[in-house]
Structure 1
């Protein structure tokens, strides 16, 4: 048992070193060093972005759309012409009227068409927005995202430098309920702990990719080359699928730290966390049950077993086992703290890592069960398989 715990500690220590290095590779969207971290060969010679289309798909977003538009409109001068389009995706709660009232003459509200067979709702909404957009770059923005002053200027600067492709990032996550606190920050954890950030930008391999659908800044030509949302119309995890499509089209994809210029609260209750992640986890793993099982076994071994062994060892007077299990638990917490710091989450949250993993495991198993159920997954009043 002590040998196993020593192995876990060494592995987690190496994981911590990787996470610390990996977090440092994220370019910050508002950082003037962005230019130094980008490939100058991708700059469009002598040209600057003239028009940016901000595209907001909204289905039953009455609680969010006014605040979202207010944040966009209060961002300040972006140095370019802004086009702001909201697609009311057949909402039943007055989202379209609220968007029109909040945006006034500066916002155009489009009426969404009926969802065709074979399409996921958000993908079709985004496709309609792209069809109507006239900007050289398009920023797909979720209605629950709030931009901070300077966000659009930073986005325009990054777009000018990169010249093509996709720029995406994870807004700072605001959480309220306990399930939100335990589960939502794990998005950043999986990236900082396992995905080499440099390969997102530096490799054309679509396996090395990460994206957040709440903030997707994409060049029009890159969007057309990769087939846009029509090419991924049936994909539940639309953001990752679009990023992979951009890579397959040989255009650059950059994952940036956008926590200083944006924030969001994805879910407002435990049920939203369960349903939202439930529809994505199994699909995000390619609907591979073996991969799901291996992932859960790995996370439980690394981040739950040390805590359980620490409690057991201390209760039974096993001093050596208690020592190594506590070290392993603290090393795992340090890995989580590294990702939490990158996502601007509270310090104490990392100590609850074992509970986070157990909640993730429960949702992942529910995601697998949902794929096998005739009812499938329910989201925004629609059902998907």
Structure 2
């Protein structure tokens, strides 16, 4: 015989027909009673609701604490004497590199050189860069060396750029990034003003296709939801960090002391690996809000997006076991509740329907917090369970291709 819940359902306080709020609260109470009676499904869904709600609150706290590059102000004398090296690795980027270069050269408020390394492009990328740069003497186009054994392409390109750079501050940028006119200066100001050694202002992610709208917002949502930002910034634990190689600035001395990209030569997710190297050597590294500093559209269509995530998701969680574990966790938190809500409606189980709906809404609330803070699309937030399900599928696909040794990117095998 199931044991009774220790509480009695509250009175609606409404004579005659009960109000909808009282009915909803009684359904919630009945769900709690089902959990007390040991109904496994309800217990799991209730736990997912509380966890999702707590994570949504955590995301809201992070959104308030997230560092932003300061408004552009006249530089101090020490800042005015500092030289910035902007480092742009490119491979087969002829279709998108021109806006990137033009925006960089239009930057104001900072003295910089722009080094572009052509990493064996097959589509004339170097010529497009030279055409965009014109006769600007700040630009140098370098030819990349053959890829050595044990290196992946991007770390090797970035290492060559860093070795050729003469600046006190190194700023790595991807070819699909377009910086604001004051973006470089504000990034350097944040690096200096916050006493950081590495900072990654996360660009606003531009989306157009349905696949992009489903998956790209999960980039900022993930670290806003799960990473305690200020604790991570102060902690020396390498595991507590986030970074984005789309736009990443660091002090040259700290970069070299941490081993540079040579220390992460075989890492798929080299940006996070580099930030971890900084922290392991006692330096401060963090992610910041780059919404009004730069924009980025990573992928142009579904095949490109699918292949991009396939090459990296297996490594994004540290190990195969980590990838499987995180996928299971996200599915439990954000896919199970709406599935339970639908099941509750179809099977006429009000407690399960109400609890599942509450869990779904908690997940959507967290997604909306991230979208609002990072310039995303609020109206896409209700599709959050579909986004997580798509991410889970891509993670499993990535693991499969990694194990088979068939993961490739831009003509190179990276498995």
Q: Fold match, TM over 0.5?
A: yes
User: What is residue 358 of structure 2 aligned with on the other side?
Assistant: 327
- Report whether the alignment pairs 1:227 with 2:267: no
Q: Following TM superposition, by how much is the alpha carbon of 1:299 offset from its aligned partner in structure 2, in angstroms?
A: 1.0
3-state DSSP of counterpart to 1:29: coil
| Aligned positions of 1:1-385 closer than 5 A | 1-31=41-71, 47-48=78-79, 49-75=81-107, 77-78=108-109, 80-106=110-136, 107-162=139-194, 165-289=197-321, 291-375=322-406, 377-385=407-415
Looking at structure 1, the residues matched to 71 and 341 of structure 2 have their Cα atoms a distance apart, in angstroms, of 42
Q: Following TM superposition, by how much is the alpha carbon of 1:8 offset from its aligned partner in structure 2, in angstroms?
A: 2.4
Q: Following TM superposition, by how much is the alpha carbon of 1:31 offset from its aligned partner in structure 2, in angstroms?
A: 4.8
User: What is residue 21 of structure 2 aligned with on the other side?
Assistant: none
* Cα contact 2:118–2:125 (8 A) shared by 1: yes
Q: Following TM superposition, by how much is the alpha carbon of 1:20 offset from its aligned partner in structure 2, in angstroms?
A: 0.7
Looking at structure 2, the residues matched to 56 and 218 of structure 1 have their Cα atoms a distance apart, in angstroms, of 14
* Cα contact 2:317–2:326 (8 A) shared by 1: no
3-state DSSP of counterpart to 1:258: strand
Looking at structure 2, the residues matched to 73 and 195 of structure 1 have their Cα atoms a distance apart, in angstroms, of 34
TM-score by length of 2: 0.85
What's the CA shift string for 1:216-272, capped at 9, x where partnerless? Answer: 101110111001011111111110111111111211112110111111000111122
3-state DSSP of counterpart to 1:60: coil
* Cα contact 2:201–2:293 (8 A) shared by 1: no
Matched length:
370
Looking at structure 2, the residues matched to 56 and 378 of structure 1 have their Cα atoms a distance apart, in angstroms, of 21
Label 1:277 to 1:374 Cα distance change in 2 as closer, same or farther (>3 A).
Answer: closer
Looking at structure 1, the residues matched to 181 and 85 of structure 2 have their Cα atoms a distance apart, in angstroms, of 17
Structure 1: gaps spanning 5 or more residues: 35-44
User: What is residue 39 of structure 1 aligned with on the other side?
Assistant: none
Label 1:4 to 1:248 Cα distance change in 2 as closer, same or farther (>3 A).
Answer: closer
Label 1:90 to 1:308 Cα distance change in 2 as closer, same or farther (>3 A).
Answer: same
* Cα contact 1:164–1:221 (8 A) shared by 2: no
Label 1:31 to 1:19 Cα distance change in 2 as closer, same or farther (>3 A).
Answer: farther
3-state DSSP of counterpart to 1:210: coil
* Cα contact 2:243–2:271 (8 A) shared by 1: yes
Q: Following TM superposition, by how much is the alpha carbon of 1:276 offset from its aligned partner in structure 2, in angstroms?
A: 1.3
Looking at structure 1, the residues matched to 233 and 378 of structure 2 have their Cα atoms a distance apart, in angstroms, of 29
Looking at structure 2, the residues matched to 64 and 218 of structure 1 have their Cα atoms a distance apart, in angstroms, of 25
Structure 2: gaps spanning 5 or more residues: 1-40
* Cα contact 1:30–1:151 (8 A) shared by 2: no
3-state DSSP of counterpart to 1:98: helix
* Cα contact 1:30–1:261 (8 A) shared by 2: no
Looking at structure 1, the residues matched to 198 and 204 of structure 2 have their Cα atoms a distance apart, in angstroms, of 19
What's the CA shift string for 1:165-201, capped at 9, x where partnerless? Answer: 1111321101122221111111111101111111232
* Cα contact 1:55–1:129 (8 A) shared by 2: yes
Looking at structure 2, the residues matched to 140 and 264 of structure 1 have their Cα atoms a distance apart, in angstroms, of 14
Q: Following TM superposition, by how much is the alpha carbon of 1:157 offset from its aligned partner in structure 2, in angstroms?
A: 1.5
What's the CA shift string for 1:125-147, capped at 9, x where partnerless? Answer: 11111111111001100000010
TM-score by length of 1: 0.92
Q: Following TM superposition, by how much is the alpha carbon of 1:115 offset from its aligned partner in structure 2, in angstroms?
A: 0.9
Provide the aligned C-alpha RMSD in A: 1.8
Looking at structure 2, the residues matched to 177 and 113 of structure 1 have their Cα atoms a distance apart, in angstroms, of 36
3-state DSSP of counterpart to 1:337: helix
Looking at structure 2, the residues matched to 362 and 19 of structure 1 have their Cα atoms a distance apart, in angstroms, of 24
Looking at structure 2, the residues matched to 30 and 72 of structure 1 have their Cα atoms a distance apart, in angstroms, of 19
Is the radius of gyration larger for structure 1 or structure 2? Answer: 2
Looking at structure 2, the residues matched to 332 and 284 of structure 1 have their Cα atoms a distance apart, in angstroms, of 22
